Chain A
Amino acid sequence: MKRNLLYVLVLVTLLLSACGGGTAPTATSATEAPASGISDATLKIGWIGKPDTLNPAYAFLTESYTIFDLIYSTLVTESADGTYVGMLAKDWSVSEDGLTWTYHLKDGIQWHNGEPFTAGQLAWAINAIMKDPDGWAASANYTGGFKEVTAPDDKTLVIVTEYPIANMDYRTSFLYAVYPPDFETFTTSEDLQNFTNFNAIGTGPFKLNTFDKDTGVLLLGANPAYFDGAPKIGGVIFQTFDNTDAMIQALKVGDIDLVNEVPASAFETVKGFENVTASAIDGRYFNELIINSVDPNNDPAPTGNPALADPAVRLAIAHSINKQDIVEVVAQGLATPGDTIVPPTLGGGFWHSPNIKEIPFDTAEAGRVLEDAGYVLGSDGVRAKGDLRLEFRLQFPSDSAVYPRIADLMAGWFAQAGMKATPEAVDPDALVAATTPAGDYDLVLWGWGPDPDPDFILSVMTTDQFVDGGWSDSGYHNPEYDQLYLDQQQIVDKAERQKVVWKMQEMVFNDRPYIVMYYEKMLQAYRSDRFTGFIESPLGIESAQSLLSVTAVK
């Protein structure tokens, strides 16, 4: 009996010591950590998500572009105020006919491996995209209309286009100077896309030291030879978190120094953290109500309530949306009420039309508008004109936390005006299939993150985009708008183009295929006890320009 008891005791002791063994290294490594050789001035950024690839040919996620911004350079780049400034280019000009662009490059540009950078290499990179647009899937849109790209000498690059290109600065700001030897060997589009470029070499302010393709961790070191002046911090680390609570906790305890996307629900908490500065910056994202505007003759025939084609019904809907309430209740004040599809942050406000007259929230007025148009209130509280009952599906992608609440609020306001909206969460993929190009919906809540140039978001409203794989979900079709869209693409004079862009926004606002509800703010936070000098702008405090000005707090 004693022997058996002894066995148990030994077993328990072993187990306990095993547990002890597991925790023992903790203490050692915790004390060792600060002396591990990484400079104090390494900025640790926590984010949700990670780059899918570092190959600009096949990069679809925003995270990839955040990294490209830091390791690669482009001819010109968008600055914090929304204007374009030279990056590789010292200066640039366009010929009278708007077809020939000449860029003069800065001096002393070199690759991260020390080799000198030449205009010929950039010409090669742009030509590679033009020759294989399917392979360079993620870049091909930017070279559309390019005829010829040449480098007459090492410091000059010339782009000749087939027609005048209005947004050339924007386009060249996404044409990365990739290192030709890395990309020269691919013979098929598929080989090129399967190249993940995990040892990317660029000319940007930071060098890629490590990219762990599994965890998504990125270690970047400062490029001391950067042609516009080296960064003042030693490096940047990007660490991926799979959930926001853990990421916010990491910021609180100082595991990371910067969070580039603070969830709205945590923003007040983060603001209260010691030694943390949290800021809400006007961003580019907007959320809208999509009203089915598909041509009734479309194939397949749209299933939207035909009453939605009546301008009076659309006006009544506009009167029944309390944008201010949505901003305050759902977005917790971290947004601004919106009006047009071109947010005021594009081009520093240059493209946003100032001529919009907002439709005030007034459900009584909405009721009057409907009454005048012949929609009579039924005993069930829903207005109807003949067979046309004002009863709508109100769908939204099921992966959103805010849309269900907006839908509930909206259904309440609609009811006050005598309209019935039935909220319904739908799988995002199924919603894409239902909208484009089927038109199988009435009303949908959704959002967009427009590019810095208005061209893309304006294209979303063109008839051409209402095809399989296109971007139009409203089915808006207006030949005059379509023509204006083509016109603005070729107006190189900015002031002239602005007039057209304004007019297009006004058309969309008045015809209401979209009712833009609000523009989101970007919520970011950083440890102010460790770093200072961030530039707050729609580019984000993690942009190359911001990180070039950041210094460590001594």
Chain B
Amino acid sequence: MNRRDYLLRKFGLSMVTIFVVVIINFLLFRVLPGDPVRAVVGRNVRISAQTQQALREQFGLDKPVFPDQFFDTLGQWAQGNLGVSWSLRRPVSEVLMSKLWNTVLLIGLGQLLSIIFGVILGLLAGWKRKTAIDVGALTFSLIAWAIPTFWLGIILLAAGSTWFGLPTGGIVSPINVGKPLYTVIPDVARHLILPTFTLTILYLGEYMLIMRSSILEVLSEDYILTAKAKGMSHWQVLWKHALKNAMLPIVTLIALNLGFTVSGAIYIETVFSYDGLGKLFQTALTKQDYPLLQGAFLLLAVSVIIANMAADVLYAVLDPRVKES
């Protein structure tokens, strides 16, 4: 099978997966107990039973789930229209896009930093096994991995705002709200420091631990011994032979983590009042906002599938054996 066929097959399978996800999502949310109209208006003194009924009809909830609601939704989606959010009263695609970039900015930056530092730390620890560096890095990583997100966030927030005057929440200061982000970069950077730092610490441990065990395994291989016997330096062995092979499990982990990037980091977003997708998912769920929920889960499914495809491709590049099989 050549590479084009391989990719086409992957792509076809992905489309099938997305279609299945769409159907499951449609049914899943409708199985939830409760009434979406009640969830949207809340225990609200202003809304009469009659008005609620009018909203129910407007949302199409008075019709049977199957076939009416199902085909209405499917027909809309086929036209590329994700519908209008019931609780926010804005087009779902517009809402999702506005949060997507915020989330990608925060999680992308945090992931990048934690990958860089995690890999370096893991490499050092594995290479200098059973030294003070190894024990120190291992202890730090285990603690970092075990810390509850919420707690670490709050502690960093209190410390950062008290001692360094860093902002207590948001993406920009209120006075800069509404301006394009690139025009207020210093302000955005200030707001990103604490959440990014929190995210980096939390993910760093995971990368470090995987990298360390992976490099230890590789270093015990025969070809490393051969390389050493050929008279290569430690650096050359590590750089040319060990690192590339040890990176394989890390690539898997990165792909998995990046796929879920768009689901946001709900705890971090909550602690730092960061306007991202994680919070949006939560709101959509509590409001039983079907159009928004369906759109959000579609986005999530698509990005997980894309990340996995990317990982497959990357594997083929890193490991020739994958390509051959």
- Give chain A's interface residues, CB within 8 Å of chain B: 1, 4-5, 8, 15, 22-23, 25-26, 28-30, 32-33, 36-38, 44, 52-53, 55, 58, 60-61, 133-134, 137-141, 189-190, 193-196, 210, 212-215, 217, 219, 237, 239-243, 245-247, 249-250, 252-253, 255, 427, 429-430, 432-433, 448-451, 456, 467-471
Contact = CB atoms under 8 A, between A and B. Distances in A.
A193 B233 CA distance: 71
B157 A217 contact: no
A190 B169 CA distance: 35
B88 A4 contact: no
Nearest to B32: A429
B266 to A, nearest CB: 10
Contacts of A61: 42
B171 interface: yes
A245 B159 CA distance: 13
B239 interface: yes
A60 B239 CA distance: 61
A63 to B, nearest CB: 12
Contact of A249 (B84, B158, B175, B270): B158
B172 to A, nearest CB: 8
Given A22-B193, A469-B49, A242 B279 contact: yes
B299 interface: no
B193 A246 contact: no
Given A60-B46, A189-B58, A215-B275, A430 B34 contact: yes
Nearest to A19: B113
7 contacts: A25-B185, A33-B173, A138-B47, A193-B58, A250-B161, A451-B45, A469-B37
B34 A429 contact: yes
Nearest to A432: B38
B159 to A, nearest CB: 10
A168 to B, nearest CB: 17
Contact of A219 (B175, B187, B272): B175
Nearest to A467: B49
Given A217-B177, A429-B288, 10 more contacts: A29-B186, A137-B47, A210-B177, A217-B174, A237-B175, A239-B170, A240-B273, A427-B33, A432-B35, A470-B49
A467 B52 CA distance: 12
B240 to A, nearest CB: 9
Interface in B118-175: 154, 157-158, 161-162, 164-171, 173-175
A194 B49 CA distance: 21
Interface of B: 32-35, 37-49, 51-55, 58, 84, 87-90, 95, 98-99, 116, 154, 157-158, 161-162, 164-171, 173-175, 177-178, 185-187, 189-190, 193, 233, 235-236, 239, 269-275, 279, 288
B167 A255 contact: yes
B168 A253 contact: yes
B175 A242 contact: no
Contacts of B52: 469
A247 B170 CA distance: 11
A52 B288 CA distance: 15
A253 B158 CA distance: 9
Contacts of A215: 170-171, 177, 275
Given A138-B46, A245-B154, A469-B52, A60 B40 contact: yes
B38 A469 contact: yes
Contacts of A429: 32-35, 38-39, 288
A467 B88 CA distance: 27
Contacts of B165: 30, 253
B169 A246 contact: yes
B161 A253 contact: yes
A276 to B, nearest CB: 15
Contacts of A456: 45
B271 A134 contact: no
A407 B53 CA distance: 34
A242 B116 CA distance: 30
B168 A255 contact: yes
A138 B41 CA distance: 9
Contact of A26 (B37, B43, B174, B189): B189
> Which 8 pairs across A and B sit closest by C-beta, in order of nearness?
A429-B34, A469-B49, A25-B186, A250-B168, A134-B54, A29-B186, A217-B177, A469-B52
Contact of A140 (B51, B87, B98, B190): B51
Centre residue among B32, B44, B99, B157 by max chain A CB count within 10 A: B44
Contacts of A243: 270-271, 273
Centre residue among A134, A219, A247 by max chain B CB count within 10 A: A134
A214 B48 CA distance: 29
A1 B275 CA distance: 48
Contacts of A32: 186
A448 B43 CA distance: 8
Nearest to A459: B45
Contacts of B168: 241, 246-247, 249-250, 253, 255
A353 B275 CA distance: 46
Contacts of A195: 89
A26 B158 contact: no
B116 A196 contact: no
A242 to B, nearest CB: 4
A397 to B, nearest CB: 10
B175 to A, nearest CB: 5
B273 A241 contact: yes
Nearest to B162: A253
A217 B46 CA distance: 25
A399 B193 CA distance: 32
Contact of B48 (A141, A252, A430): A141
B174 A237 contact: yes
B89 A196 contact: yes
Contacts of A25: 185-186, 189-190
A464 B98 CA distance: 44
B175 A190 contact: no
Given A29-B186, A58-B89, A239-B170, A1 B34 contact: no
A432 B177 contact: no
Contact of B178 (A210, A433, A448): A210
B157 A249 contact: yes
Nearest to A195: B89
Nearest to A239: B174
Centre residue among B32, B54, B162 by max chain A CB count within 10 A: B54
Contacts of A245: 154, 157, 271
A196 B88 CA distance: 9
B53 A239 contact: no
Nearest to A468: B49
A246 B46 contact: no
Centre residue among A8, A141, A217, A252 by max chain B CB count within 10 A: A217
Contacts of B178: 210, 212
B54 A137 contact: yes
Contacts of B154: 245-246
Contacts of A194: 84, 89-90
A36 B190 contact: no
Contacts of B177: 210, 212, 215, 217, 219
A243 B168 CA distance: 11
Contacts of A139: 46
Given A29-B186, A239-B174, A214 B193 contact: no
A60 B169 contact: no
A240 B283 CA distance: 14
Nearest to A218: B174
B174 A427 contact: no
Given A22-B189, A138-B47, A242 B84 contact: no
A137 B51 contact: yes
A429 B33 CA distance: 7
